[in-house]
Amino acid sequence: MNEDFAPTLVGAWNAARAQLEAARVDSPVIDARLLLEAATGASRTDIITDPRRPITPEMAATLNSYVERRARREPVSRILGRKGFWKIALQVTSDVLTPRPDTEVIVDLALKAFPEGRAFTMADLGVGSGAILLSVLAERPAARGLGTDVSLEALAVARENAANLDLNNRAVLLRTSWADGLEDGGYDLVVSNPPYIPSADIAGLEPEVRDHEPRLALDGGPDGLDAYRLLAPEVMRLLRPGGLFAVEIGHDQARAVRPLFEQAGAHGVQVVRDLGDRDRVVTGEKPR
Ligand SMILES: C[S@@+](CC[C@H](N)C(=O)[O-])C[C@H]1O[C@@H](n2cnc3c(N)ncnc32)[C@H](O)[C@@H]1O
């Protein structure tokens, strides 16, 4: 950051914005404000109504370090260590995928299918930060759930998030590959947002994703479909008759993923679109 910015909220905001613009960050104004809020404790309203409020040298140094990280294209959520998803706040670290708004489609489907008051069990395969599992459990107090991941570090983040949300008595977090070791027919709902980027496409992703998200959360193998081939029969094995599944897909993967679940015995398979009107989730049922 420039050394000579005025040590006020608005001066710091302008200097941060200019540095992020130069680094070709997508949303420099908003990101600069979020980092300023975190570094100074000022709210958005403070910045607008009291722009000349002085900031201390310590605040300026903290902001400087945040802006330098963002200019290296580290996501804001990673710098701040937290991300909002659905209606909950999650801790995020370099060991978990930053939860995406697209994934909220799965939460929406689950909450519509399982009304409040109904007791049900769910499994979230590849739980990461706990985004899907904890969002559903937070709104369905009679539900219980299990999240799996192969990453011990991701599971530690999910455990911390479950504890922060007071959900650790209803969420079990287990290290295993997808559904290995889980009982047949034990779940009313199975969800997953597996890695689905074709390996060769990863190098061309935005630096925020390519350089800062765990490879294990992105890499779907040569055609991006490795995980679905394993998951389709396992999801059907885990479900009770009449149970529901929902898996996230890449926007161009519906034609490949849908038949994998149909061949595994799913009924009523549908593709659901996200808010950007792109194919995002494959959902269906295990026949009764
Ligand atoms: C795309 S991220 C999704 C994380 C989280 N569910 C979300 O939606 O934000 C995929 C997750 O699958 C996990 N994963 C990758 N391979 C796995 C495997 N064989 N078994 C279980 N989890 C796996 C990764 O560690 C990562 O946490």
| Residues flanking ligand 1, CB < 6 Å | 96-97, 99, 103, 125-129, 131-132, 148-151, 154, 177-178, 193-195, 216-217
What does the pLDDT average to over 229-255?
98
Average pLDDT, the chain: 96
124 part of a folded domain: yes
- Answer whether residue 138 shows pLDDT above 70: yes
CA–CA separation, 110 and 86 (whole Å): 12
33 part of a folded domain: yes
Same domain membership, residue 94 and residue 51: no
Per-residue pLDDT reduced to its tens digit, 46-93: 999 999 999 999 999 999 999 999 999 999 999 999 999 999 999 999
Same domain membership, residue 236 and residue 170: yes
153 Ramachandran zone, left/alpha/beta (phi>0; psi -120 to 50): alpha
2 part of a folded domain: no
Q: Which two tokens stand for residue 22?
A: 């130069």
CA–CA separation, 109 and 85 (whole Å): 15
Q: Closest residue (by CA) to atom 2 of ligand 1?
A: 217
The residue out of 72, 102, 125 marking a domain boundary is 72
Q: How far is the CA of 100 from the centre of ligand 1 (A)?
A: 13
Question: Could you tell me the pLDDT band of residue 3, with boundaries at 50, 70 and 90?
Answer: very low
Burial group, residue 53, by CB count within 10 angstroms (0-12, 13-18, 19+): middle
CATH number at residue 276: 3.40.50.150
**What is the count of structural domains for the chain?**
2
Same domain membership, residue 44 and residue 140: no
Same domain membership, residue 169 and residue 55: no
CA–CA separation, 284 and 261 (whole Å): 8
Same domain membership, residue 113 and residue 225: yes
4 part of a folded domain: no
- For 76, 132, 152, 168, 247, the CA distances from 155, given in Å and listed in that order, are 22, 14, 5, 12, 20
1 part of a folded domain: no
Q: Closest residue (by CA) to atom 13 of ligand 1?
A: 126
Same domain membership, residue 88 and residue 53: no
Query: What's the domain range around 44?
Result: 9-72
pTM: 0.94
